[in-house]
Structure 1
Amino acid sequence: MDKFFQLRENKTNVRTEILAGITTFIAMAYILIVNPITLTAGGATGMDFNAVFVATAVGAGLVTLLMGLLVNYPLALAPGMGLNAYFAAVVLGSGGHITWQVGLAAVFISGIIFIILTLTKIRQILLDAVPESIRNSITVGIGLFITIIGFKTSGIIGVFYIGKDAAKPLSLINSNDWLLQLGNFAQDKAILLTLIGLLITGVLMVTRVQAAILIGIIVTTIIGIPMGVTDLASLSKAHWIPSFSHLAIGQLDFKGAFSTGLLTLIFTFTFVELFDTFGTLTGTAAKAGLLDKPDSRKKIGQAMLVDAGGVSLGALLGTSTITAFVESAAGVAQGGRTGLTSVTTGILFILALFLAPLALIVPAQATAPALIIVGVLMMGAVRHIDWDNMVHAIPAFLTIIMMPLTYSIANGISFGIIFYVVLATASNFAGGKNKVHWMMWVLTVLILIRFIYTDLNV
């Protein structure tokens, strides 16, 4: 193991890597239940809950294993949040015109596009094209994005209506009548459990306890039992042997995809996946210190290829886009530095087919503190941004702030790129010497096309 995964070279060991892999899995385990719920929409999309669950577990497990074995990166992959909601929305909003089989075909095609872009090294050019200030701001933005996920899933913050008509649907409420506020700490035990978990994890971190994040998740889950937040009732009636009936393997409708004119759908999947993966890969790799290595460019290229293949593989198995997960940063924060972390996470996803009830009893309030702490750790990259140079400071700030506020990594990167290109060019006309890579111009055009023609809320 030491030779294959280069453990000594990366200043780590088997125990640390396995603990990091377990931490990443626990932080990501929610996708096993959330993805089937999202894609099936209570049966409205026509997809089978059990089929999507199996596709989620097998797809995440296989692609994450490939990331660990072929790239030796501590990066885990699974069906991405946001894109799965977009997938379901397209199917539901088409009035039966676009079936889930057609949608999966669109996802598969976007994966093939990614493979081509990766093999031609166009995706790798991004490492040279995107300025260092933007890359650092991506790391910080992802940290805030992860933190927002933690706050949102735990109930610490949420959207609260402040108008007179409390019964009015949120979708019909004027934006001036609602705002983000703290949850009800006094009455909501779930929020209280999150705060307890955050304090426990924080104390373990400052006292330098090994596996602090993992221990924090486990202890918080146990504390949640007497509080009534951790639900053990599902264990007694759970099905421990997975059912492989009604699987959606290979049910892609290519003819329907082309005849329906899904160029916008395919473009959206492709565009968002491009930036989400780039942001997650570089952000997580930077946190693990992997971008400073001589072979970092080669490794990033390999990671992108595995990710691209995972998109199409996921579609074949019967789930929406499989992509790199920002929760991988939880394992990196736990000390994960090599592919052994990913291999551990991948194996656990496969085992989750048989141990799903046990994995899913971990409440969101137990994993939320881990995500918040990871956000703290990723904020460190903010010191590498030149805040005195407005050409870099303004795009960096917009990259950082737009990720959590729009709940999208792609939106944050999009704003950063557009503003950098415009500001750097304007500065150069005034005598500045800012480098604007040709790829940045290409990306700007693609971003503008997306802003004009596609849904930005994914």
Structure 2
Amino acid sequence: MMEKYFEYRKHKTNFKTEVIAGVTTFLTMAYIMFLNPFILSGEFAGTEKGFFDFGAVFTATILATSVACFIMAFHGRTWPIGLAPGMGINAFVAYGVVAGMGYTPQAALGAVLVAGVIFLAISLTPLRAWLINSIPKSLKLGIGAGIGLFLAIIGLEIMGVVGDHPVTLVTLGDIKNPLVLLGCLAFVFMIVLEKMKIRGNIIIGILLFSIIAWATGLAKFNGVVGSIPPMTYLFEFDLKAALTAGMASIVFTLLFIDFFDTAGTLTSVANVAGKVDKKGKVQDINKAMLSDSVGTVAGAVMGTTTVTSYVESGAGVKAGGRTGMTSLVIGVLFLACLFFSPLATSLPKEIDGAALLYVAILFVRNITDIEWNDIAESGPAVVAMITMPLTYSISNGIALAFISYALIQIFTGKFGKTSPAIWVIAVFSVVSFYVA
């Protein structure tokens, strides 16, 4: 049945290869089941600010990931993609929308749902291709790097490497603390494993150094297996709050990040999988985009932030994955982890922070492709990169980057050669500052 549905022979693969590919991708992205609830629950900052419930997000993360992978498997069919709540977006929702702006988790989930529905609508129209081609490459790369730096400052704070200061705002943390040192070693260990090309370096690093912390008495071990935490946020999204004027910039930010992150990830994986034709067109990308957007809607309904395609899927493709069977295996493996909530609550925050810092590097490393020789292109990209961590907001970084890019185009006489999408987003960004 699997042979007939996924057409192994046509794609030069087989059941065994697809299973191995699925396991490979699962190992590279399994960290999200621990890191996503950790970030959304605000564990390191304290829950008094109204963050999400850890257990509810843990369950929602796994179920949303599984459902999205199943959708990709049976609708995408030719795409060996793993999907899960996206890094960067979850931090933006937790620290920017909920803690920073004071919105409730339900209102934030409403915004995720609205953005997902818009993404779904765009995926069904020619607007998708127009938008992808309208945003300059340097801006896309700068925004991606900015998200990485935003994750980096959060990761360093969680680890305890960076602390607050009344004058300089930030300063060096207590690096003599054994747990802080352990987190730093975990970060180095993850890089070493990556250098050695060992799959699952993040999850291996998290578990190994957590075991060291438990064994030495530096952290409390709550067990491995337990009951499944209830889904507190199932169908609890607040659409009324999400559709207010103040939420417009938040919805736009969620949509922008998800849309271009998905497009970039799918293009990257398509190149590895040989799904790009001689004209540079990606085969069956419509099905993949549609599956991704439906996954986001499903995630919001279940109680987690934007679900998106993971670039870690490239590991499974390199292992031979060529069909949706790979996605199916990923989904099944995540479902099997539903009972691991005690283990998730046992992980020291310093180790989680180390994993977040490592993920930040993956976002930042693409800045080499920015057009540095043209300051009109690189300037706005750098604005996005530095304002996201310094203003503690992804949406501020995107807005300032587009406003500066638009102004540069006007004053350099390139108004007529610039895509209308740039002007629309720039004007919207200016308005959002006044509405906020």
Report the TM-score range of the alignment, normalised by the length of the smaller protein: 0.7 to 0.9
- 2:257 counterpart residue number: 276
- The amino acid of 2:421's aligned partner reads M
Alignment of 1:197-208 (within 5 A): 197-208=186-197
- 1:137 counterpart residue number: 142
Q: 1:308 to 1:210 in 2, by over 3 A?
A: closer
- 1:293 counterpart residue number: 276
1:397 aligns with 2:358: no
Alignment of 1:306-345 (within 5 A): 306-317=291-302, 319=303, 321-324=305-308, 328-329=310-311, 331=312, 343=328, 345=330
Residue aligned with 1:120, SS: coil
- 1:182 counterpart residue number: 172
- The amino acid of 2:205's aligned partner reads G
- 1:264 counterpart residue number: 245
1:221 aligns with 2:213: no
Give per-residue Cα distances to partners, 1:155-195, cap 9 Å, x unaligned. Answer: 2223x234xxxxxxxxxxxxxx3422221111x22210112
Give per-residue Cα distances to partners, 1:388-421, cap 9 Å, x unaligned. Answer: 2111121121122223333444433333222222
Q: How far apart, in 2, do the equivalents of 1:116 and 1:378 lie?
A: 27
1:58 aligns with 2:48: no
Q: How far apart, in 1, do the equivalents of 2:314 and 2:170 lie?
A: 29
Q: How far apart, in 2, do the equivalents of 1:183 and 1:70 lie?
A: 48
Q: 1:446 to 1:314 in 2, by over 3 A?
A: same
Give per-residue Cα distances to partners, 1:68-96, cap 9 Å, x unaligned. Answer: 55442645332833325666569967xxx
- The amino acid of 1:206's aligned partner reads K
Q: 1:374 to 1:266 in 2, by over 3 A?
A: closer
**5+ long unaligned stretches in structure 2:** none
Q: 1:216 to 1:108 in 2, by over 3 A?
A: closer
Residue 242 of structure 1: how far off its partner (Å)? 2.2
- 1:441 counterpart residue number: 423
- The amino acid of 1:280's aligned partner reads D
Q: 1:49 to 1:355 in 2, by over 3 A?
A: closer
* Contact 1:417–1:444 (Cα < 8 Å) also in 2: yes
- The amino acid of 1:135's aligned partner reads K
* Contact 2:250–2:395 (Cα < 8 Å) also in 1: no
- The amino acid of 1:201's aligned partner reads M
Q: Select the residue among 75, 84, 87 that pairs with 1:77.
A: 84
* Contact 1:58–1:350 (Cα < 8 Å) also in 2: yes
Residue 447 of structure 1: how far off its partner (Å)? 1.6
Q: Select the residue among 23, 34, 40 that pairs with 1:18.
A: 23
* Contact 1:194–1:366 (Cα < 8 Å) also in 2: yes
Q: 1:75 to 1:419 in 2, by over 3 A?
A: farther
Residue aligned with 1:428, SS: coil
* Contact 1:50–1:243 (Cα < 8 Å) also in 2: yes
Q: How far apart, in 1, do the equivalents of 2:120 and 2:370 lie?
A: 32
Alignment of 1:117-136 (within 5 A): 117-136=122-141
* Contact 1:399–1:415 (Cα < 8 Å) also in 2: yes
Q: Select the residue among 385, 403, 410 that pairs with 1:425.
A: 410
RMSD of the alignment, in Å?
Answer: 4.1
Between 104-113 and 271-280, the greater mean CA deviation after superposition? 104-113
Q: How far apart, in 1, do the equivalents of 2:225 and 2:193 lie?
A: 35
Total equivalences in the alignment: 414
1:241 aligns with 2:227: yes
Q: 1:446 to 1:372 in 2, by over 3 A?
A: same
- Give the TM-score taking structure 1 as reference length: 0.73
Q: How far apart, in 2, do the equivalents of 1:302 and 1:65 lie?
A: 13
Residue 35 of structure 1: how far off its partner (Å)? 3.4
* Contact 2:51–2:99 (Cα < 8 Å) also in 1: no
Q: How far apart, in 2, do the equivalents of 1:86 and 1:379 lie?
A: 20
* Contact 1:20–1:334 (Cα < 8 Å) also in 2: yes
Residue aligned with 2:85, SS: strand
- The amino acid of 1:440's aligned partner reads I
Q: 1:361 to 1:208 in 2, by over 3 A?
A: same
* Contact 1:57–1:350 (Cα < 8 Å) also in 2: yes
- The amino acid of 1:195's aligned partner reads C
Residue aligned with 1:242, SS: coil
Between 299-308 and 388-397, the greater mean CA deviation after superposition? 299-308
Q: 1:370 to 1:68 in 2, by over 3 A?
A: farther
**5+ long unaligned stretches in structure 1:** 94-98, 163-176
- The amino acid of 2:165's aligned partner reads Y
- The amino acid of 2:244's aligned partner reads L
Residue aligned with 1:125, SS: helix
Residue 335 of structure 1: how far off its partner (Å)? 6.0
Q: How far apart, in 2, do the equivalents of 1:89 and 1:265 lie?
A: 15
Give per-residue Cα distances to partners, 1:363-405, cap 9 Å, x unaligned. Answer: 3433444443444454442222222211112112112222333
Q: How far apart, in 2, do the equivalents of 1:341 and 1:418 lie?
A: 41
Q: How far apart, in 2, do the equivalents of 1:436 and 1:340 lie?
A: 42
Q: How far apart, in 2, do the equivalents of 1:37 and 1:377 lie?
A: 23
Alignment of 1:402-417 (within 5 A): 402-417=387-402
- The amino acid of 1:200's aligned partner reads F
Q: How far apart, in 2, do the equivalents of 1:20 and 1:178 lie?
A: 42
Q: 1:216 to 1:56 in 2, by over 3 A?
A: closer
- The amino acid of 1:276's aligned partner reads I
